[in-house]
Structure 1
């Protein structure tokens, strides 16, 4: 007897894990003078997608997602990680199938005795 026969797939998650991007961000002019390395983790939640034709348009394109996140960070002109979060989340809702976006952003080099410091938040589509 198959265990899967009695289960229901309720959501699908797509992840970007440990993307590292350098950008100018920070509260002070001094902090923004040189690029800072950020590590991003992004998780998209969507309804389970059937892929009967084994075609990319039946799901979210990982390459598109990665490009959107990287470009959003590189084009930022903000001071706060919280504002950058808003920009990344907004960019990640590029497809109507995406229901929820979770983003974790860390500054990697801000404090010499800390591996990373940052934020993690989740936003759902209304």
Structure 2
């Protein structure tokens, strides 16, 4: 079934954009710069937010597959040791931007075991076209 958008009358709300997100995605990754972090996996928790702009989303082809975002993250996590959480976040963001529908991306990476007594430490990176 195709849905046809009706023209908006003056003063009616207009959609400003569509954001797709994956939150709390947990992966195990070889990450860190210290000797005790080498040769072992550590948990990372990611939030990925993708801005698709104001284009209409009426069918699956108009949006992003959430599982595709998870596949990107999991592939990078299994791709070998990365020293910095910041590098990991940037690699996820840039891989997401390979899809031309993504106008902007925000990636938050938490490393829960980074600091004793803290819930997590990490970073957030944002990119836009």
User: Normalising by structure 2, what TM-score?
Assistant: 0.83
Structure 2: stretches of 5+ with no match in the other structure: 1-10
Q: Quote how far apart the aligned CAs of 1:76 are.
A: 4.3
Q: What secondary structure does 1:33 align onto?
A: coil
More helix by share: 1
Q: Quote how far apart the aligned CAs of 1:102 are.
A: 0.3
Structure 1: stretches of 5+ with no match in the other structure: none
Aligned partner of 2:21 in structure 1 is 15
Q: Deviations over 1:75-112 (max 9, x none)?
A: 14320111111111111113111011101101111222
Aligned partner of 2:40 in structure 1 is 34
Q: CA RMSD in A?
A: 1.6
Whether 1:85 aligns to 2:74 is no
User: In 1, Cα distance between the equivalents of 2:101 and 2:13?
Assistant: 22
User: Normalising by structure 1, what TM-score?
Assistant: 0.85
Flag as ranges the 4+ runs of structure 1 deviating above 6 A: none
Aligned residues: 119
